[in-house]
Amino acid sequence: MQCGSGDEIAGSPYLMDSIPSSSDKKTLKSVLTIPRKKPAKLDDVRSNGWLDSMMSSSPPRKKILKEVNIDVSSDDADVTYLSWTIKYPSALNSFQQIMRQARNKQIVIFLDYDGTLSPIVDDPDRAFMSNEMRSAVRNVAKYFPTAIISGRRRDKVYELVGLTELYYAGSHGMDIMLPVKNMPSTNDSKCIKSTDQQGKEVNLFQPARKFLPMIDEVFKTLVEKTKDIKGAKVEHHKFCASVHYRNVDENNWPVVAQYVHDILKDYPRLRLTHGRKVLELRPVIDWHKGKAVEFLLESLGFSNSNDVLPIYIGDDRTDEDAFKALRGKYQGYGILVSTIPKESNAFFSLRDPSEVKEFLESLARTMEDKDI
């Protein structure tokens, strides 16, 4: 990726005041997308590794292979992928092995949403899951407790999935809804009573509640700061906020990053995580998708690790916390969804949401066959 040099962007704060000559239309186009008031300097994000992380986040498969000097002919790409699956075998090819491991145990399914149940698309508001995927999830939930653990806000992910029979955790696990009977300690200050979409009484576990006003404030600041950056999009996820740069001209990525970096300096109790072409600001509390998985397992009555086989399917860096957690006490299986080889704490792999659907269908079919 070509990032703009510091000089290109660190000139006058009012770039539009000096219009380039008509022969330089390309430059004009890129200048037009640069915000009028930009951060004073971009040095921090050039030296702290943020830009490298942003560049390597969710790259197209061809680009990655090119960057590591692999000829991008599809045959070679397939060979590279196949050798990677020696370390992270396909969960489809390993299905019988997984089933053998699950003998006499209760399988519990955890699913990430974006990139796992729905394909990655440019507009986060249009990341819909297919009806076929919805039926696959519905069928699997008939036999196994099933939870969705998403970076999105809980009500949004519920709206996208639309299945009442699942457990939902939003904001990277910082907002978990459970039936009243499942909440371990209702006296806990992190738990509050509420009602679900059907008016049923539920408990909410929200370990970052006190951060709500701070996230509101940061969200507003982010919206204001990035409003002139073409393609930038800020999302409020209740307990965290996201700044998307997927649709921002690459020359402006340092500007986006520096804004976020500058805001974080004013909020030492927030930290940054990188997702797929998204920067996420979240509370510094020791809570993430891995903790949420452990919390759900305990709340659902599976604290005896010998009785349960948890399976977590996800595609993002934030899912790594869950993969890592499953390698501990529970000896469960993380399944990484990826079309490109990458290092992971997962055990198995699946290429894309269509393989996720196939895997879920196989799980449900195995149980249906037992029912007959």
Ligand X SMILES: O=P(O)(O)OC[C@H]1O[C@H](O[C@H]2O[C@H](CO)[C@@H](O)[C@H](O)[C@H]2O)[C@H](O)[C@@H](O)[C@@H]1O
By CB under 6 A, name the binding residues for ligand X. 112-115, 120-122, 124, 127, 150-152, 235, 242, 244, 246, 275-278, 280, 316, 318
In the complex, what is the shortest distance from the CB of residue 161 to ligand X, in angstroms, rounded to a whole number?
10
Tell me the C-alpha distance between 294 and 242, whole Å: 25
Rank residues 122 and 188 by Cβ distance to ligand X and give the closer one. 122
Q: Least separation, in Å, of the C-beta of 127 and ligand X?
A: 4
Q: Residue 294 CB, nearest distance to ligand X (Å)?
A: 17
Nearer Cβ to ligand X (121/180) = 121
Q: In the annotation, is 43 catalytic?
A: no
- Which single residue is written with the structure tokens 């498969």? 61
Residue 246 or 324 having the CB closest to ligand X: 246
* Token couple for 346: 């997962």
For the bound state, the minimum distance from the C-beta of residue 331 to ligand X, rounded and expressed in Å, comes to 24
Q: Residue 337 burial by CB count (10 A; 0-12/13-18/19+): exposed, middle or buried?
A: buried
- What the block records as the tokens of 82 is 């196949």
Q: Which is nearer to ligand X, 316 or 320 (CB)?
A: 316
- 28 burial via Cβ count (<10 Å: 0-12, 13-18, 19+): middle
> Position 339: which residue type?
T
Position with the least CB separation from ligand X: 151
Distance CA 132, CA 130 (A): 5
In three-state form (DSSP H/G/I as H, E/B as E, the rest C), the secondary structure along 325-344 is: HHHCCCCCEEEEECCCCCCC
Identity of the residue, 154 or 225, whose beta carbon is nearer to ligand X in the bound complex: 154
| 279 phi, psi to nearest 5 deg | -105, 130
Q: Which helix (H) or strand (E) holds 146?
A: strand 146-149
Closest distance of CB 281 from ligand X, Å = 11
Closest by Cα among 272, 210, 215, 270 to 238: 215
- The secondary structure of 150-219 as a DSSP string is -SS-HHHHHHHH--TTSEEEEGGGTEEEEEGGG-S-TTSTTEEEEE-TTS-EEEEE-TTGGGHHHHHHHH
Between the alpha carbon of residue 311 and those of residues 4, 120, 327, the distances in Å are 42, 22, 11
Query: How many CB atoms neighbour CB 113 within 10 A?
Result: 23
Minimum distance between the CB of residue 11 and ligand X, rounded to whole angstroms?
A: 30
Q: Which residue in the list 7, 17, 71, 112 is annotated as catalytic?
A: 112
Which of residues 15 and 239 has its CB atom nearest to ligand X in the complex? Answer: 239
> Smallest distance, Å, CB 275 to ligand X?
5
Buried b (16+ CB within 10 A) or exposed e, 240-259: bbbbbbbebbebbbbbbbbb
Q: Identify which of residues 158 and 330 has a Cβ nearer to ligand X in the complex.
A: 158
Tokens 């009555």 identify what position? 301
- SS3 call for 300: coil
3-class secondary structure, 126 = helix
Dist. CA 201–CA 272, nearest whole Å: 34
Q: How far is the CB of 149 from ligand X (least distance, A)?
A: 7
Is the CB of 94 or the CB of 242 nearer to ligand X? 242
Q: Which residues are catalytic?
A: 112
